[in-house]
Structure 1
Amino acid sequence: MAYNSVNPYTDHYIGIDVGTGSARACVINSKGDIVGLASENIGLWQPEQGYYEQSTTDIWRCICTSVKRILDQQNLDPSTIRGLAFDATCSLAVFSEDTDEPVSVTHPRYDNDRNIVLWLDHRPVEETAKINATEHNLLRYVGGTMSIEMEIPKVLWLKNNMPKELFDRCKFYDLTDALTHMATGNENRSFCSTVCKQGYVPVGVDGSVKGWQGDFLETIGLGDLVKDNFRRLGGVNKENGHYLSAGEKCGTLSEKAANELGLPAGIAVGSGVIDAYAGWIGTVGAKVHLGGGALSSEYASNDWHQAFTRLAAVAGTSTCHIAMSPKPVFVKGVWGPYRDVLIPDYWLAEGGQSATGELLKHVIETHPAFQTALSTAESYNANIYDYLNEHLKDMAAKVSAPSISYLGRHFFFYGDLFGNRSPIADPRMTGSVIGLSSDKSMDGLALYYYGCMEFIALQTHQIIETMNESGHQIKSIFMSGSQCQNKILMELMASACDMPVLIPQYVHAAVCHGAAMLAAKAASADRNGKSEDLWSIMDRMSKPGRAVLPTEDQHEKDLLKVKYNVFLEQCHSQRKYRGEIDDIVNKWSENTGKMDEKEAKPKAEQGEKAKAGGGLNTVLPGSVV
């Protein structure tokens, strides 16, 4: 991708995006043009099945390397940098209160700097169930149940597994706030991090007095975090803590951080956001002619009211769906509504798919024809997705198919292989296939791949339909991430949802472009902290995008409608069947539990022998049973 050459006399702003696999730095000028982009892969450790850990020390090193690389490659004068801001995955970062050093989250070892429990870490299963069993009122603001991906279940797991004397020394951050802390040295927190992922309810919402819900923390076993006005979570706003909406100036770059980044101290640092929300900032302000009723006729095409009709779909390993509304909209299975997280007094909702990029990767790599497909793609100097798209086109041409969707007319793939985030909000959801055959060929792989793309599009339809039925007014989808480059997937998305899909100019950089806009907002702050409003910055700095419109072929529309009905049946039938089986199994278990000690003792002895002796009964770590 070509970026504009650098004018050394222009003001510049740095956005830092920390994803699951890499840290990226993006520099923009005052017009919003990207003038430099660099990334560095970050470490990821998986000490046990379902455990995922990272290190703030490692991430900070990658950030510093990326920023210095841009300054060097673009010959950029550091004195032109006016602002800096972060976005990151919604992961839990742990530091000690007394030394401000990282505290390891690895169990049972606590002697390394792996102090991040990553968002996709699924260790707190029991803790999540305990939290949701409280049915506390704050759960209304996370779609009815707190997800295992959120941070309070992970804090509770640490409480249950760390030595007490170590846990009592810990303070806790969302990763974005941890990076802001490392940059500024202060303890200011963002509404985006705390409201969206830590159970913070803004003051005045549903009678919330201090933001943090003390009775909730006491009930789940985290009462020690209530002490000293919630100090270890960031404190109480305007008492012993300070909370800000997206991009508000939360401090300045410290001497230590400035030296490590190769920048001058004193640069404005903006309050950061979770990475998906930076995707909203980086996409929904784009200049575009969508047509077809996708714009509200009451307002100008670039008026901020148009944001209420736009869904930001931030696609990567998983996909997050972000929508803004002027009033709270409660949607079962959709996280939120969250107030103040981007713009003060406005509400955000977050739906999502647990796996999209990861699902496509899994489906392709587990098919018998994968290695053949990969080798063939490499011979054409193409990635496997582009190659399979071309193969689908060839398949359609061979049978004179009216569309690629025609190829999958009798193939029904339901792909919740990694659980369901929205709108079912059921981590136990799995996949199913109707139309399974013995085909191990390249055509068979291409059909599975198509079915996976169709599933992603149909589930997006389900999420949008659920949100609109509850009160949202979504009329268009603003995508970001590498999936935007998949022409077949984007056309399926537009046609399945029957609305335009907007592809941003900076396909790979929309999220860090959004973070850089937060840096511009922070830099605009006056001595009283008042800054330019976020939408004004988005309108000024966003670039034109490209619209993908729904199919005009009525037959294809009708086909996708029928496929959607089958999709819904596969979704709901799975839960029905599982419920019926669970009823039987529960009765079975109750009955089995009543066997007398005489019968139970030999079974127990057999189990102990198997554990001690190994052999055929031994289950190795990571085995599937």
Structure 2
Amino acid sequence: MAHYNSRSNTSLRSRGSFGANVPPPQPDIYYVGVDVGTGSARACIIDTNGIILALSERPITRHELKANYITQSLTEIWLAICFCVKNCIRELEIDPLEIFGIGFDATCSLVVLDEKDDAPIGVGPDFSDNKENIILWMDHRAVDETNAINSTGDKCLKYVGGQMSIEMELPKMMWLKRHLPGGIERCKFYDLADFLTHKATGLEARSYCSTVCKQGFVPIGVDGSTTGWSKEFLEGLDLPELVEDQFRRLGGVPGKNGVFLSAGEIVGKLNSQAAEELGLTVECIVGSGVIDAYAGWIGTVAGKVDIPHLQEMAEKSNSSIGTTCGRLAAVAGTSTCHIAMTKEPCFVKGVWGPYKDVMAPDYWMAEGGQSITGQLLAHVLGTHPANSELTSLAETSNVSKFDYLNLTLENLVHENRERSVVSLAKYMFFYGDFHGNRSPVADPNMRASIIGQSMDNTVNALAILYFGACEFIAQQTRQIVEEMEESGHKISCIFMSGGQCRNGLLMRLLADCTGLPVVIPRYIDAAVVFGSAILGAVAAQESVEEHITKKGRTKRSDSLSKSASNLAGLSLPSQGSLINPGSRDGTHSPYTAPSATSSTTNMATFAYGGHSSTANVPSLTPMAEENADYFSQQAQKPSHSSSAFADTDDEDDEGTLSFGSKQKVQQDLSHLLLKLGLKPLTNIRSETTHPGDKLWKTMEKMTGPGKVIMPSNKEDPDRKLLNAKYSIFLKQCKEQQEFRKLVDLVEVENARVIGMS
């Protein structure tokens, strides 16, 4: 250990001036976060102040052999995870014994294994391919099963927004019962995040996050629940296999044959096989995992921002987990999830939940969502006739397509003598539920409707259509927020994460449509995997405290780091195929590629108020420069009565909000912390009175400062126009359903007449 102690102390002290304002990182103490998204697996390593020191990513594939049948391979995902973790360790050159905890998050996808030996079982449509043993969350095969479940009216449905979504896992299990050759008698089922903790430890603990949110589990004591699972409900669905031996295929019954945990609670230590494959040790502690969107909540809602009412709420809650109530996390990627915590249950039609114990015991979570957001923007561009021309122009200008479209819109404002970009698109009425509606309508049959298109197929017309898609995302977010507030939530702020944060146009629209401050986190692309690393830190807290108290003289010191030697022989692709946190021109993953992140370097410069040095970028006209605020994420300087974020210099924005070099990140954070006047971060060993406070204290300590976009004044002409268009948006939503009912009535009558003839 002497060699690593010397190296770690040196490297930690040389990482810029960040340590001048916060407690110095504890040498030789690190945590790993693992995130499995729709299109990639990622891993990161953080230190005790929550600074990401290494980040690695590898794409994962998904297969759609038949429309709406979307599968993935567990084998491929685990190999990708092991690759990313080992690559992070290799990059930092740290001893695996220095990694105390690991946390996992993943998409809410269904994993199917053989009970006898954990062998993967193929989930179709090609049942002979056992490697494809994950039904992805966005798989929509189980239409009939979803309808059958919702027709029962079982009490568990009121805890998932009134009806179960086709994206959830019980409909998929029911579909397998009906179609898997031989049925499901040899199967056991996991949410993907729960499988990862099972794979890592060999233990059968399940998370409340996975089971309550996606599988119909109702925690004991809620609405008379005595086992969590409902025997009558499952048997009524012809799923007696799931009831056998006290629901063993689903993880059992809490306190009897099953263990169920809230976020970050200790699952156990890595088993020897997982430790070797991950390049870690059997002393590394695994925290209970969460669905990926919930890791985004963990990684963002403790962001430090100068918004007085948030600070007042924190003081009233005495820095407990209750501090997070009212903070809505919008976790954006292919789709967007909207997650909020409450002390008491709030039932919101079309919004999943309320879910008890998911993040912390005795607290409730609600989850709204948009089925496609990043994918929507990609679809709008990819299907337009001018997309090829746009691609060529953007490449020539060395900017992303979204940058180019934003600048095009600004120039169109000048050319058409319009007041702003909002008035430029005042007659574009875009309703974008191309892939059904998750919230608050909860109707998988919803589809898009666009009013205002002409035969113009130029890039200019594409820019207007793209604006309409952005406006739709913002207006639907307002619809979700309003439904939540009408049912008891008190939403005070939106904490964003994901590549969409770089799109200044979209962020400004979100603030103006909802009327709420929008907070951009320190780690735009890494908020979710950062949240997973926090889970590892929470689980390892006691182990770390023992290590510090005994000055490292614990049994960890005597453990053999067998897997360290494996790193030297690890075969890695060329660095160009990996995300390099020290470089801002790394390759982006399929997970974030659709969500306005295709050009890190230039998008960061554009979105954060910087200036591009590329001569080919279309320049703003004088009037466009006046309207450029609608495309800037630059924080507003507060007046005496304003609750906006403290003024920041342009040169600081890029390092604090993008994943730049370690030194750059820390120098800029130090600068911001000084200007914010924030007190030094508290030690996570603070006394806590509630089990959830352990999670909150760690979040509070490790989450850095964010940046705020304040909504425009209510009397601003653009906000008035957006408000008027919101009423049109609601009509488009409601009338589509009415139109379908009219057609269905006619078709039912037609079928009756044909049947009689």
TM-score (norm 2): 0.76
Q: 2:752 aligns with which of 575, 586, 590?
A: 590
Aligned partner (choices 346, 353, 366) of residue 336 of structure 1: 353
Paired residues for 1:321-360 under 5 Å = 321-360=338-377
Matching of residue 83 in structure 1 with residue 101 in structure 2:
yes
Letter in 2 for 1:554: D
Are the equivalent residues in 2 in contact too, given 1:78–1:264 (CA < 8 A)? Answer: yes
Rounded to whole Å, the distance in 1 between the matches of 2:431 and 2:27 is: 54
**Would you say the 8 A contact 1:524–1:531 is kept in 2?**
no
User: CA distance change for structure 1 residues 75 and 506 in 2, over 3 Å: closer, same or farther?
Assistant: same
Deviations 1:289-312 (A, max 9, x none): 135789648627966433111100
Q: How does 1:76-475 map to 2 (within 5 A)?
A: 76-164=94-182, 167-291=184-308, 296=313, 299=316, 304-475=321-492
Partner of 2:56: 38
- Measure, in 1, the Cα distance between the counterparts of 2:310 and 2:118: 53
Supply the distance in 2 between the matched residues of 1:292 and 1:82 (Cα, whole angstroms).
36
**Deviation by residue 1:344-379 (Cα, 9 ceiling, x = unmatched):** 110000000010001111111111111100111011
* Aligned partner of residue 258 in structure 2, secondary structure: coil
Q: Deviations over 1:400-441 (max 9, x none)?
A: 433211111111111111110000001111111222211111
Match of 1:563 in 2: 725
Quickly say closer, same or farther: Cα 1:62–1:108, change in 2 above 3 A: closer
In structure 2, relative to structure 1, the CA distance for the partners of 1:423 and 1:294 (3 Å cut) is: farther
CA distance in 2, matches of 1:325, 1:70: 36
Paired residue secondary structure (1:86): strand
Would the alpha carbon gap of residues 301 and 377 (structure 1) be closer, same or farther in structure 2, given more than 3 Å must change? Answer: farther
CA contact (8 A) 2:200 2:271 kept: yes
Contact 1:294 1:500 in 2 (8 A): no
Deviations 1:19-52 (A, max 9, x none): 0000000111011111110011112111111111
| Cα distance between partner residues in 1 of 2:168 and 2:55 | 30
Partner of 2:540: 523
Say if 1:263 and 1:394 are closer, same or farther in 2 by CA, change over 3 A: same
CA 1:5–1:259 in 2, change beyond 3 Å: closer, same or farther? farther
CA deviations over 1:208-232 (Å, ceiling 9, x no partner): 0000111110011111210101011
Any conservation in 1 of the 2:314–2:323 contact (CA below 8 Å)? no
Mapping for residues 503-514 of structure 1, pairs under 5 Å: 503-514=520-531
* TM-fit CA distance, 1:387: 1.3
3-state SS, counterpart of residue 592 of structure 1: helix
1:219 and 1:525 map into 2 onto residues whose CA distance is: 45
Instruction: Give unpaired runs (5+ residues) of structure 2.
Output: 1-11, 17-24, 547-690
Give the direction of change, closer, same or farther, for the CA distance of 1:189–1:525 in structure 2 (3 Å limit).
farther
Tell me, in whole angstroms, the C-alpha distance in 1 between the residues paired with 2:481 and 2:26. 45
2:709 maps to 548
TM-superposed deviation, 1:532: 6.6
Counterparts of 1:291 and 1:437, CA distance in 2: 46
> In the alignment, is the contact (CA less than 8 A) between 1:141 and 1:338 conserved in 2?
yes
User: How far does the alpha carbon of each residue in 1:263-311 deviate from its partner, in whole angstroms, 9 at most, with x for none?
Assistant: 1113100000000000100000010013578964862796643311110
1:496 matched to 2:513? The reply is: yes
Task: Specify the alignment match of 1:57 in structure 2.
Answer: 75
Report the secondary structure of 1:359's partner residue.
helix
Give the Cα separation in 2 of the matches to 1:292 and 1:444: 42
Task: Give distance in 1, aligned partners of 2:311 and 2:352.
Answer: 24
Q: Give the whole-Å Cα distance in 2 for the aligned partners of 1:251 and 1:366.
A: 48
Superposed CA deviations along residues 313-354 of structure 1, whole A, max 9, x for unmatched, are 000000000010000000000000000000111000000001
Separation of aligned partners in 1, 2:317 and 2:198: 39
Take 1:116 and 1:266, find their aligned partners in 2: how far apart are those partners?
A: 30
CA distance in 1, matches of 2:312, 2:399: 37
For residue 605 of structure 1, what is the aligned residue in structure 2? Answer: none
Name the SS for the 2:743 alignment partner: helix
2-side partners of 1:302 and 1:399: how far apart? Answer: 51
SS at match of 1:149: coil
The letter of the residue matching 1:538 is M
The number of residues matched between the two structures is 592
| Compared CA separation, residues 364 and 295, structure 1 to 2 (3 A) | farther
SS for the counterpart of 1:288 is: coil
SS in 2 for 1:571: helix
Verify the 8 A CA contact 1:89 1:119 in the aligned structure 2: yes
Partner of residue 535 from structure 1, selected from 696, 704, 718: 696
Counterpart residue identity of residue 297, structure 2: W
Structure 1 stretches of at least 4 aligned residues deviating more than 6 Å after TM superposition: none
Query: After the TM superposition, which of the residue ranges 399-408 and 79-88 deviates more from structure 2?
Result: 399-408
Residue-by-residue CA offset, 1:61-114 (whole Å, 9 max, x unaligned): 000000111111121221110001100000000111111111111234334311
Distance 1:97-1:297 versus aligned 2 partners, 3 A rule:
closer
AA aligned opposite 1:588: N
The 1:531/1:571 distance shift into structure 2, 3 A limit, reads: closer
Higher relative contact order (CA 8 A, sep 6+): 2
- 2:34 matched to which residue of 1? 16
TM-score, L = length of structure 1: 0.92
- The structure-2 alpha-carbon separation of the partners of 1:568 and 1:532, relative to structure 1 and needing over 3 Å to count, comes to closer
Which residue is equivalent to 2:502?
485
What residue is the counterpart of 2:641 in the other structure? Answer: none
Maintained 8 Å contact 2:26/2:48: no
Distance 2:481 2:693 in 1: 31
Write the distance in 2 (CA, Å) between the matches of 1:335 and 1:151: 14
Structure 2 residue matching 1:152: 3-state secondary structure: helix
**Which one-letter code corresponds to 1:87 in the other structure?**
D
What do you get for the CA RMSD once the two structures are aligned?
2.0
| 2: CA distance, partners of 1:300 / 1:203 | 27
Do the aligned partners of residues 531 and 422 (structure 1) sit closer, same or farther apart at CA in structure 2, a change above 3 Å counting? closer
Kindly indicate whether the alpha-carbon contact (under 8 Å) linking 1:524 and 1:532 is maintained by their aligned counterparts in 2: no
CA distance in 2 between counterparts of 1:506 and 1:323 reads 20
Is this contact kept in 1: 2:124–2:180, CA < 8 A? no
| Identity across matched positions, percent | 50
Is the Cα–Cα contact under 8 Å of residues 43 and 54 in structure 1 kept in the other structure?
Answer: yes
Return the letter of the residue paired with 1:225: L
Farther-moved stretch of structure 1 (428-437 vs 252-261): 428-437
Q: How far is 1:578 from its partner?
A: 1.3
**Aligned-pair CA distance for 1:559:** 0.4
Q: Note if contact 2:97-2:283 (Cα within 8 Å) is conserved in structure 1.
A: no
Name the CA shift for 1:294/1:573 in 2 (closer, same or farther; >3 Å). farther
- Please give the per-residue CA displacement for 1:198-256, whole angstroms capped at 9, x wherever unaligned: 00000000000000111110011111210101011111111111000000001110100
Moved more, 248-257 or 300-309: 300-309
